[in-house]
Chains A and B, each alone.
Chain A
Amino acid sequence: MTRYVIRRILWALVLFVVVTFVSYVIFFLIPADPVKLFAGRQATPEDMARAAAFYGLDQPFYVQYWKFLSRLVTHGVIGEKALGFSFVNRQWIASGVQSRAPVTASLVLGGAVMWMILAVPIGIVSALRPRSLIDRGATVFVLIGISAHPVFLALIFLYIFGYKLHMFPIGSYADFFNPPPGQAGGPLQWAWHMFLPWCTFAILFAALYVRMIRASVIETMNEDYVRTARAKGAPEWVVMRSHILRNALLPIVTMLGMDIALGLGGAVFTESVYSLPGLGQWAVQSLETFDLPVTMGVVVFATTAVLVVNVIVDVLYAVIDPRIKLA
């Protein structure tokens, strides 16, 4: 187990280097000159050179990448200066990540809870009654969920539930713990502000998970040990809870880990439309302003999150499935 975790962490480091390196290469492939942008419109060649030197942009990209890595190591990954400062407003990236990560985490984790709350019961009911009205209704829901883009859904939700019905706030965020003075905050406000974003974010995954859970439950229902449980005299709800679901949800847990990580990507759209001050929105802004350190900060954070979530899911899987031994 310990050996397994160590090996996974070493692999995670390799992956981390690859992902950040590729991000650097892509940034430098963009046919634009950030220096021109930062030096201002009236800049002389001398000004431009000074600006380039100030930001370190006069060096070849692999030297810059090396500096980026060594800065991460010397300042400790979570240190204030580890990720450098923003080209645009000269603020430390680390403090930006610190204030924005909780917003994205709220969206993604809350969304994951939301999609499981939707998908588990619907999946089970459609597995129990295949080809029934509920099953067919679920199929329609799945089709809509998979086809609709989060931007479209977000705008529709905002228009109907925010603008027309005034049920939910439009384009604002309420902090769970420490709201800025003069703004709404606390768990209730937080949940109320996040409800529409959660729905938007969850609907695609909910749709996929209904399908997966349905298939997994149907497959498990035909297992011999389910028949054994019935032969023992177990009532149907015990058979479902203790014998079918316990086994049917094993593969779902793996998927959940991967999809929560994937969800960080989907969060970009949802955050943008609902004006949530999260990492996705920040990443989009940074690309528009060629703010390389911000882009890299978000990439570093997202990569780390994905890698950590995957290790956690693998370890968790070994805990819930006794047949799996990590080695």
Chain B
Amino acid sequence: MALLDVRDLHTTFRTDDGLVKAVDGVSFTVEPGKTLGIVGESGSGKSVTCLTIMGLNDRRSASTSGQALFKGADLLAMPKNELRALRGNEISMIFQDPMTSLNPVHTIGRQLVEAVHLHQDVSRSSARSQSLDVLKAVGIPNAERRIDDYPHQFSGGMRQRVMIAMALINHPDLLIADEPTTALDVTTQAQILKLMDTLQKEYGSAIVMITHDLGVVAEIADDVVVMYGAQVVERATAEELFARPSMPYTWGLLGSLPRIDHDVERLAQIPGTPPSLLNPPSGCRFHPRCTYAMSICQSEQPPLASATGSETHLSRCHLDQATRLTEIKKLESGHFAEVT
């Protein structure tokens, strides 16, 4: 059984301008101990998907439908108290900006101890020694001394390590990481990813990694979901996705990734801007920006269907098999960048 099984998830926000469908029929599964990468541009609905699963959307403006089965129990239908008992205990979350995600007026020790006490009935000293252990595990130097420091006394990378420590302290089965490396500089990014990889092996947690960086996905993900305009547009194992990406948006993402084995003058970019979720385009949501768009793309939304014959590889596109294969070839040989 999958650890997390998300089925036909919809999240709608009421705003002053109207209804915003931030998540529109998203489904995916996460296997125990595996890593799922969710990729997409800003505003594609990847963060909201995870906040919805965690029950962290603003209840006054968000409405949700669908199912998110965690070990068979629906997180969306669960009473608030049960969900709260799971949060930070069996499901944890790391956020994008470590600079603002820690409470500035409490020491990190106090914030870690709070996380322990919320879910374990242990003494103060035991909670503190657990906190110290997990700080050492995430590589905070001088952890004994630094545990009583305040967040502003740490660098961005160190704060993200503290966030990871706080997320892992209760040994969760699922860790949701919402762009954990975006706000960090490149060398720190690599360190944090490596750390998460090591800790995953040690703690055996499954990870949902939200990112807009395909490089990150290539490095750590077992499965990948590509989101565009609040929908899943491609879903595959990481191997399949990088070997045979099967729709133009994914091609665009890959084309805009610098590659060490190809020499191109200029990296490709996807023209245009992400669609408005207030008033999404008709038909295929990507068609206004798609260089392959046909007339059917404007009127009819393609279903999420097997693209390459593989059961695990699904995508949303009207293009026929032959065209896709030739384009994949071009992408492989590096010509693709010039075509788009």
* A→B interface (CB under 8 Å): 223-225, 227-235, 238, 242-243, 246-247, 250, 320-323
Q: Is B103 an interface residue, CB under 8 A from the partner?
A: yes
Whether the Cβ atoms of A230 and B118 lie closer than 8 Å is no
Query: Which stretch (B89-97, B226-234, B317-325) binds chain A?
Result: B89-97
Whether the Cβ atoms of B100 and A235 lie closer than 8 Å is no
* B→A interface (CB under 8 Å): 54, 56, 84-89, 92-93, 95, 97, 100-107, 114-115, 118-119, 150, 152, 163, 166
Minimal Cβ-Cβ distance residue in B for A230: B56
CB-CB nearest 7 A-B residue pairs: A233-B88, A232-B88, A233-B87, A224-B100, A225-B103, A231-B93, A322-B150
Whether the Cβ atoms of A224 and B101 lie closer than 8 Å is yes
Query: Could you say which of A233, A235, A246, A323 contacts B152, with CB atoms under 8 Å apart?
Result: A323
Contact partners of B88 in chain A: CB under 8 A: 231-234
Whether the Cβ atoms of B114 and A234 lie closer than 8 Å is yes
Which of B85, B88, B89, B150 gathers most chain A CB within 10 Å?
B88
Query: Could you say which of B85, B100, B101, B150 contacts A233, with CB atoms under 8 Å apart?
Result: B85
Minimal Cβ-Cβ distance residue in B for A231: B93
Query: Could you say which of B97, B105, B150 contacts A224, with CB atoms under 8 Å apart?
Result: B97
Q: Is the interface of A mostly helix, strand, loop or mixed?
A: helix
The smallest C-beta distance from B151 to any residue of chain A, in angstroms, reads 8
Whether the Cβ atoms of A233 and B95 lie closer than 8 Å is no
Contact (A323, B150) CB under 8 Å given A229-B103, A234-B114: yes
Whether the Cβ atoms of B102 and A233 lie closer than 8 Å is no
Jot down 18 A-B pairs with beta carbons below 8 A, ordered by A.
A225-B103, A225-B104, A227-B95, A228-B95, A228-B103, A228-B163, A228-B166, A230-B56, A231-B87, A232-B166, A233-B84, A233-B89, A233-B119, A234-B114, A235-B84, A242-B114, A321-B104, A323-B150
Contact partners of B97 in chain A: CB under 8 A: 224
Contact partners of B85 in chain A: CB under 8 A: 233
CA distance A106 to B95 in the complex (A): 49
The smallest C-beta distance from A272 to any residue of chain B, in angstroms, reads 42
CA distance A202 to B103 in the complex (A): 32
CA distance A246 to B103 in the complex (A): 10
Contact partners of A246 in chain B: CB under 8 A: 103, 105-106
Which of A228, A230, A235, A320 gathers most chain B CB within 10 Å?
A228
Query: Could you say which of A225, A232, A234, A243 contacts B100, with CB atoms under 8 Å apart?
Result: A225
Minimal Cβ-Cβ distance residue in B for A130: B60
CA distance A224 to B163 in the complex (A): 12
The smallest C-beta distance from B90 to any residue of chain A, in angstroms, reads 10
Contact partners of B54 in chain A: CB under 8 A: 231
